[in-house]
Structure 1
Amino acid sequence: MQPSATTQTGNWVNNSAGYQVLLVFLLSLNFGIVFFDRQALNVLMPSVQPELGLTQTQIGIIAGGLSFSWAIAAFFYGRLSDSIGKRKILLVLATLAFSFCSFLTGLASSFALLLGARLLMGAAEGGVMPISHAMVASEVDPKRRGLAQGVAQNMGSNLLGSFAAPVVLVAFAHAFGWREAFFLAGIPGIISAIIIWFMLKEPVPLPKPVEAEKSMTIPEAIKVRNMWVCVVVGVLMVGHFVTTWAFMPLFLVQERGFDETTASWLMGSLGIAAFVYSFAVSGLSDLIGRKPVMVVLPFLSVLGPLGALYFDGPAYLMAGIFVVGWAVNGIFPIFMATIPSESFDARHHATVLGLAMGSCEILGGVFGPPIAGALNDAFGNSTFLWMLMVLAVISGFVAMALKETAPAVVARRGLAPAVA
C-alpha cells in the first residue's frame, strides 16, 4: 500500500491522514505482539517456577537479562537504521526473530536454557520500538506526535501484552501446558511481520546531516538537560515497570492467596488501564505540556504497591486501585520518545531514541529485577513493593527539572523550541 501525495515538510514527511493512522495502528499492533511475548514468562511464572525450581533471585536475573539484551539491541538498531536509512526491513526482521525466540522459551528445561532464550528474545525485540518511534517522528504530523507516539508504544503493548497476555496465556496454559502457551505466543509476530511488509512503505530518507551534525556523540547528547532527565526518569520507571511484572503475579498468588486466574485478571487490569492511558496521558501532554504529567503521575503510582500490601477488600476493588496507580504507564512514551524527539534534530531521532530506551532498559530493566529478587530472598517477598514506591517518588522529583517541549504549549508561552 502506498500513501497518497506525500511531500517532505521540514522534519517530517507530509503523508495522507489515512496513511498516518494506518502506520500508527500497525506499529502499535506490532509492539503489542512484542510485549505479548515479553510478558508471557512473567504471567506464566507461577507455573514455570515450580517445574524449573527457580529462586526469586534467578527470576530477577532472567527478567534483567532480557532487559540487558533489549538495551544493547536498542542502541545497535537505532544507529543502524539511521545510517542505512532502511527502517521497515529491520523492523520486519526483528519481528520474525522474536517470534522464533518465543518458541525457544517453550523448549527450555533449566534456568540456563531459559535465560539464554530470553537473552535472544531481548536482542530481537530491542530494535522494534526505536525504529517504530523514528518512523512515527518522520511520517506523522508533529502536532499529533505526542498522541501518535503514545498510541504506538502504549495502546497495543498494553491491550495485548499487559491485558491479553495474562488472561489468554494463563487460561491456555491451564488447558494445554505452559510450554504450549509459549508456542502460541510466537505465532502473531510472524503474521504481523507479513502485514507490515506489504502494507507499510519504507520511510522517505531525510536529508543527510552536514558533517558537524554527524559528530554528535552520546556524551554530547546526554549533556542536553531534557535528555539526561529522560534517561534518569526512564531508568527508575523502567526498573519500576519490569520489577512489577516480574514479581507481582507471584506475590498475588503466593503471598496474597489469590488463585492464578484471579491474579491474571488483576494483572490484566493494568493492561486495560494502560490502554486507556495510552490515549489520555499522551493526548493530555499535547494540551497541557509534557512536564506536568511527568511530575504528577509517578507520585500517584505509589497507590498500586500500597494496595497490593494492605488492601483486604474484594479483587475488583483491588483492580480499581491498580488502575488508578497505573496511570504512570502513560508517561513511558513521553520520556522514551516524545521529549527526546522534540529536543533533537529529526536526523538524529533513531539514535537518541535508542539512547533513551537503551539506557532505561540497561540500567533500570537490567538491575531492577535482580536487586528486587535479592531483596525478596533476604527480607521477604513483599520487599519489592517498597522498592517500587521509592523508585516512583524519586522519578517525580527528577522530572521537575524538565524543560517543556510540547509544541502547543511552547507556542502558547511564546518560547522558541530548543532542538539540539
Structure 2
Amino acid sequence: MRGEPQPFTDLEGAATLSKDMTATDCSDETEPLNGAKKRDSNEQDLSLARRIAVIAVVAILAAFEGVCMSLPGPFFPPEAKKHGLTQSQIGIVAGSLDVSCLFFSFLVGSLTTPTNTKFVSISGTLLCSATISTFGLLNFVSGPGVYFTLCIFARALNGFGVAMTYAMFIPISLRCFPELAGLIQGIIQTCFCTGMFSGPIIGSALVPFGGYSAPFLVAGGLEALFSCIAILIFPPAAKSYSPTNHPNESEHYLKFFVTFSTMSVVIPSLVVFLMSGFRDAAYSLHFHEAIGIDLGSMGYVFASNALAATITGATVGVLVNQGYGVFVLICSQILTPVTAFVMFLPYLVPQLETKAWAVILLVVNGISIDGVINPFYLIMQNEAVRRGSGSLEQVRTFASSSFSVVMSSGRILGSVIFGGFFNEHLGYYFTCLIYAVIALLTLAWHVIFLARVGLLRRAYYPTSLEITK
C-alpha cells in the first residue's frame, strides 16, 4: 500500500492474515508488511521458554506501571493540602506527568526503531522507578513553592518514562507471539489494571507503618528490580536497520496522527480518559469533605476502580478477539456521559452520596475507561496500515504511541482543567455536568463518523499484518 491512503471503509480489509506465521516466529528485525518474511538470525533461535519469560516480565512491569500511576490519586491531594497547595496547583501536579507523557509519546513514536527498542523500554521503566520513589520522598520538603516545583519536576520525568514504556511493551511482546495480538494486548491491559487496583491497597496498608513515603519507595524499588531482570530477559536489539528497506517508513508519526479520520477516533476516546485525570485530582478530596472518608480508607475505596478495570480488561480482550471491538468501544463511550450525569445528581439529592455511592461511581469509571483501551489500539493499528506504514514495527509503535498520547491528553485536561480550574471555580457538581455534555457531543461525533465509513459492525484483531499492493 503506497502513495495515497485508501478509503477507510473496512477494518478487516485494512489488514490481511499472514498464513505462514507460526508461534515460533520471534524476531527483533522489523517484520515487513509486504509478505517477505525477513528475519534477523540472532532472534530465530529464541526458545519458547524465553519468549514466555519476555511476556511475563512485560506483564509484571506493566503491573508496576499501574501501581505507580494509581498511588498518588488517593494520597497526594490530602498531603498536598497540608503543604499549602491550592486545588488548581494539585491539578497541575497531577497533570504534569501527562503533559510530559504527551510530548514524549510523539518523540518516541517518531524516533523508535528495532535497533533501540530494548534500550528505550528498559530506560523508561528505570526512570519510572526512580521518579516515583523521589515523588514519595518530597513529603519531607518544606515550603509550598519548593514543594510544588519539585512535585511537578518529578511527575514530568515520570511521564517521560511512561511514554517510553507504553510505546514499547506491545511491540516487544508481539515480536515473540505475533499471532496472539489480541490476547497479549488483553494480558498487558489486565496486568496494568491489576497494578492500578493494587496500588491504593498497598498504599493504605503501608502508610500506617511507614508513613506517606513508604508505598512510593516500595513500588519504585520493586520496579527497578524487575527492570534489571528485563535487561537479561528481553531479546537483543536488531543488528542493523535502515528505513530504505521499508519505503513508507519515512512517514512521520505526527503526519499520521493529525488526519481527520484519526482525530475522529482520538478525540472521543480522549474525552473518556478525562475521567481518569478528574478522578486523580478531585475525587479523594470530595469524598473526604462530602462523605467523610478518611485517608486510611481512601485507598481501599479507590481500589474498587481498578478492580473493575481489571475484570473488564480480561473480558474486553475476549470480546475483541471474537470480533466486537467497535461495539465495546461505543458502549464504553455511551457509559461515560451517563456516569458523569449521575455524578451530578447529589447536587439535587444530597442523600445519595454515601461510601457505597463512591464505590459504585469508581467501579463504573473503571469499566468505561477500560473498555476504550483495547478497541482503540485495534482501530489505530489498522489506520496505520491503511495509511501505508512500511513495517510491522512502525504499525505497532504508532498504535501504542497513539494510546499514550490519547491517555495523556485526556488526563491532562481532566486533572488540570476539570479537576483543577473548573472544580475550584464552578464546584465539583457543575464540573461533572459540563463533562457529561462534552462527552455526549463527542460520542455523537464518533458514532456519525463510524457510520459514514461503514465501521458500525464487527471488527477484530488480525493475527499478523501485511501490506497488500
- Structure 1 residue 364 and structure 2 residue 410: aligned? yes
2:127 aligns with: 97
Distance 1:139 1:407 in 2: 27
Q: Is the Cα contact below 8 Å between 1:149 and 1:333 reproduced in 2?
A: no
Distance 1:352 1:409 in 2: 18
Q: Is the Cα contact below 8 Å between 1:232 and 1:398 reproduced in 2?
A: no
> Which one is further off, 212-221 or 119-128?
212-221
Q: Which has the higher helix share?
A: 1
What secondary structure sits across from 2:428 in the alignment? coil
The structure-2 alpha-carbon separation of the partners of 1:336 and 1:76, relative to structure 1 and needing over 3 Å to count, comes to: farther
Q: Deviations over 1:16-53 (max 9, x none)?
A: 77665543432232122123122222221244123211
1:6 aligns with: 25
Distance 2:249 2:25 in 1: 27
Q: CA deviation at 1:391?
A: 4.5
**1:334 pairs with one of 359, 374, 394:** 374
- Structure 1 residue 180 and structure 2 residue 210: aligned? no
Distance 1:254 1:231 in 2: 35
1:276 aligns with: 311
Structure 2 counterpart of 1:27, one-letter code: V
- Structure 1 residue 263 and structure 2 residue 298: aligned? yes
Structure 2 counterpart of 1:264, one-letter code: G
Structure 1 counterpart of 2:183, one-letter code: L
1:285 aligns with: 320
Q: Is the Cα contact below 8 Å between 1:304 and 1:326 reproduced in 2?
A: no
The structure-2 alpha-carbon separation of the partners of 1:257 and 1:304, relative to structure 1 and needing over 3 Å to count, comes to: farther
5 Å-filtered alignment, 1:99-118, equals: 99-108=129-138, 109=141, 110-118=147-155
The structure-2 alpha-carbon separation of the partners of 1:159 and 1:324, relative to structure 1 and needing over 3 Å to count, comes to: same
> Which one is further off, 364-373 or 274-283?
364-373
Q: Is the Cα contact below 8 Å between 1:72 and 1:358 reproduced in 2?
A: no
- Structure 1 residue 164 and structure 2 residue 198: aligned? yes
Distance 2:393 2:460 in 1: 24
Q: Is the Cα contact below 8 Å between 1:270 and 1:323 reproduced in 2?
A: yes
Q: CA deviation at 1:114?
A: 1.1
> Which one is further off, 329-338 or 44-53?
329-338
Distance 1:315 1:168 in 2: 20
**1:146 pairs with one of 182, 186, 210:** 182
The structure-2 alpha-carbon separation of the partners of 1:314 and 1:405, relative to structure 1 and needing over 3 Å to count, comes to: closer
1:382 aligns with: 429
| RMSD (CA atoms) | 3.5
Q: CA deviation at 1:147?
A: 3.0
Q: CA deviation at 1:62?
A: 0.9
Distance 1:103 1:321 in 2: 30
Q: Is the Cα contact below 8 Å between 1:231 and 1:359 reproduced in 2?
A: no
Q: CA deviation at 1:378?
A: 0.8
- Structure 1 residue 87 and structure 2 residue 117: aligned? yes
Distance 2:195 2:134 in 1: 21
> Which one is further off, 199-208 or 329-338?
199-208
2:17 aligns with: none
**1:201 pairs with one of 235, 249, 255:** 235
Q: CA deviation at 1:85?
A: 2.3
Q: CA deviation at 1:129?
A: 0.7
5 Å-filtered alignment, 1:18-417, equals: 21-82=52-113, 85-108=115-138, 109=141, 110-142=147-179, 144-152=180-188, 154-161=189-196, 163-202=197-236, 208=243, 210=245, 212-218=247-253, 220-222=255-257, 227-302=262-337, 304-306=339-341, 308-309=343-344, 310=346, 312=352, 315-316=355-356, 318-320=358-360, 322-334=362-374, 336-343=376-383, 344=385, 345=389, 346-353=392-399, 355-361=401-407, 363-372=409-418, 373-400=420-447, 401-402=449-450, 404=455
Q: Deviations over 1:101-126 (max 9, x none)?
A: 12221232211111111111111221
Structure 2 counterpart of 1:135, one-letter code: I
Q: Is the Cα contact below 8 Å between 1:105 and 1:114 reproduced in 2?
A: yes
Q: CA deviation at 1:275?
A: 0.7
Distance 2:334 2:279 in 1: 16
Q: CA deviation at 1:68?
A: 0.8
Q: Is the Cα contact below 8 Å between 2:269 and 2:406 reproduced in 1?
A: yes
The structure-2 alpha-carbon separation of the partners of 1:357 and 1:389, relative to structure 1 and needing over 3 Å to count, comes to: same
Q: CA deviation at 1:194?
A: 1.8
Q: CA deviation at 1:182?
A: 2.3
Q: Deviations over 1:246-282 (max 9, x none)?
A: 2212221122222233332221011111111111112
> What is the TM-score when the length of structure 1 is the normalising length?
0.84
> What is the TM-score when the length of structure 2 is the normalising length?
0.76
Structure 1 counterpart of 2:184, one-letter code: A
Structure 1 counterpart of 2:322, one-letter code: L
RCO greater where, 1 or 2, for CA within 8 Å and sep 6 or more?
Answer: 2
Which stretches in structure 2 are left out of the alignment for 5+ residues?
A: 1-21, 142-146
Q: Deviations over 1:75-107 (max 9, x none)?
A: 22233322x522222211111111111222123
Distance 2:115 2:203 in 1: 37
